[in-house]
Amino acid sequence: MRAVRCAAPRLRQFDRRVIENEDLMQTPENFHIRPALVEDVPIILKLIRDLATYERAPDEVTATEEQLREVLFGHRRSAEVLLAFEGESAVGFAVYFYNFSTWLGRAGLYLEDLFVKPEKRGKGYGRALLVELAKIARDRGCGRMEWAVLNWNEPAIKFYQTLGARPMNEWTVFRLTRDEIAKLADAADTAATTDSDRE
């Protein structure tokens, strides 16, 4: 499913419903969420690897701590991270960045990863992370929130639907990998050089 979309009115409705019903999130008192700091990079990378293992692709993670420091905390930040803690132990995270809707004329919040360690599920931590993201999206004037979920991940799909999110079944995601991007760009460069040589 790529992408689940919540338009602005839906987002406000979801945010209000969850915040007014705090009993929906029976989280322990020692649970808290905070923005990640640069010193949290090792924790972030560990959670990324845990997520990849859960998604049956443990060998596909090529990110390094150095790369994460640059893209998350460097001069040109590409994404932001929320970390969820139970006491001093990191139990989950959310990685997000901003996209843009030409139709709405507004930025949207795109949730790249939402992960809670399997042994820590059922305590409201995933919901709490999504509520925190909804607050961020609301406060920053985002027109919508979007994210993707693997088709086989039925528990996640059902969970998202309880929040008011809906699948965008009429959309198909297309992807170019890094190698494919380079191939396409290099072909265009080669063609341009050939054309200039002819002139």
Sequence-distant (≥ 6) Cβ neighbours of residue 33 within 8 angstroms: 82, 83, 84, 85, 128, 129, 132
Structure token pair of residue 63: 């990110």
Q: Are 111 and 101 in contact (CB under 8 A)?
A: no
* Structural contact between residues 115 and 47, judged by C-beta atoms closer than 8 angstroms: yes
Give the tokens for residue 27.
């989280």
Phi, psi at 175, each rounded to 5°: -140, 140
175: Cβ contacts below 8 Å, ≥ 6 apart: none
**110 carries an active-site annotation:** no
- Whole-number Å distance between alpha carbons of 105 and 156: 30
3-state secondary structure (DSSP) of residue 160: helix
Q: Active-site residue among 96, 110, 125, 160?
A: 160
Looking up tokens 């560990």 gives: 46
Question: Which residues are part of the catalytic machinery?
Answer: 160
